[in-house]
A and B are shown apart, each in its own frame.
Chain A
Amino acid sequence: MKHKTLLSAAVICAIGGLALADSHSEGEFAKQIKARQAQMTIYSYNLGILGGMAKGEAEYDSEAAALAANNLAVATTIWMPSTWPQGSDNAATKGTRALPAIWEKFEDVGAKSQNLATAVAKLQESAGTDLDSLKAAIGPVGEACGACHKPYRAEK
Chain B
Amino acid sequence: MRRLAQVAVAVALIALLAGWFLTRPQAADLTGLDALSGDADQGAWVFDAAGCASCHSAPEAQGDALRVLSGGRGFPSPFGTFYAPNISPSPDHGIGGWTVADLANAMLAGISPDGAHYYPAFPYISYSNARLQDIADLHAFMMTLPVSEQPNRSHDVGFPFSIRRGLGLWKVLNAGKRWVIEQPEDDQIERGRYLVEALGHCAECHTPRDALGGLDRNRWMQGGPVPVGKGSFPPLVPSQLKWSAEDIAYYLETGFTPDFDSAGGAMVEVIQNTSRLPPEDRAAIAAYLKALPDGSANE
- Whether chain B is bound by chain A comes out as yes
A residues engaging B (CB < 8 A)? 43-45, 47-48, 51, 54-57, 90, 97, 138-139, 142-143, 145-147, 149-151, 153-156
Please count the residue pairs between chain A and chain B whose beta carbons lie under 8 angstroms apart in the complex: 73
Query: What 0/1 pattern do residues 229 to 243 of B give for CB contact below 8 A with A?
Result: 111111000000000
Q: Does B160 contact A (CB under 8 A)?
A: no
CA distance A47 to B60 in the complex (A): 27
* Nearest CB on B from A103, distance (A): 17
Task: Find out whether the CB atom of B231 lies under 8 angstroms from the CB atom of A44.
Answer: no
Query: What 0/1 pattern do residues 259 to 285 of B give for CB contact below 8 A with A?
Result: 111111110110110010000000000
CA distance A156 to B259 in the complex (A): 15
Determine the chain A residues whose CB is within 8 A of the CB of B263 once the complex forms: 142, 145-146, 149
CA distance A55 to B279 in the complex (A): 13
CA distance A43 to B260 in the complex (A): 8
Task: Find out whether the CB atom of B230 lies under 8 angstroms from the CB atom of A154.
Answer: yes
Given A51, A54, A139, which contacts B275 in the complex, CB threshold below 8 Å?
A: A139
Determine the chain A residues whose CB is within 8 A of the CB of B260 once the complex forms: 43-45, 47-48, 51
Task: Find out whether the CB atom of A147 lies under 8 angstroms from the CB atom of B268.
Answer: yes
Q: Does B27 contact A (CB under 8 A)?
A: no
Q: Does B255 contact A (CB under 8 A)?
A: yes
Determine the chain A residues whose CB is within 8 A of the CB of B259 once the complex forms: 44, 48
Residue of A at shortest CB range from B62? A147
Task: Find out whether the CB atom of B268 lies under 8 angstroms from the CB atom of A51.
Answer: no
B residues engaging A (CB < 8 A)? 60, 62, 226, 229-234, 246-247, 250, 253-256, 259-266, 268-269, 271-272, 275
Task: Find out whether the CB atom of A153 lies under 8 angstroms from the CB atom of B265.
Answer: yes
CA distance A57 to B246 in the complex (A): 10
Residue of B at shortest CB range from A147? B268
Determine the chain A residues whose CB is within 8 A of the CB of B261 once the complex forms: 44
Residue of B at shortest CB range from A44? B260
Task: Find out whether the CB atom of A156 lies under 8 angstroms from the CB atom of B232.
Answer: yes
Determine the chain B residues whose CB is within 8 A of the CB of A57 once the complex forms: 246
* Nearest CB on A from B154, distance (A): 25
Q: A139-B253, A139-B254, A142-B255 are in contact. Are A155 and B268 (CB under 8 A)?
A: no
Q: A47-B256, A139-B275 are in contact. Are A145 and B246 (CB under 8 A)?
A: no
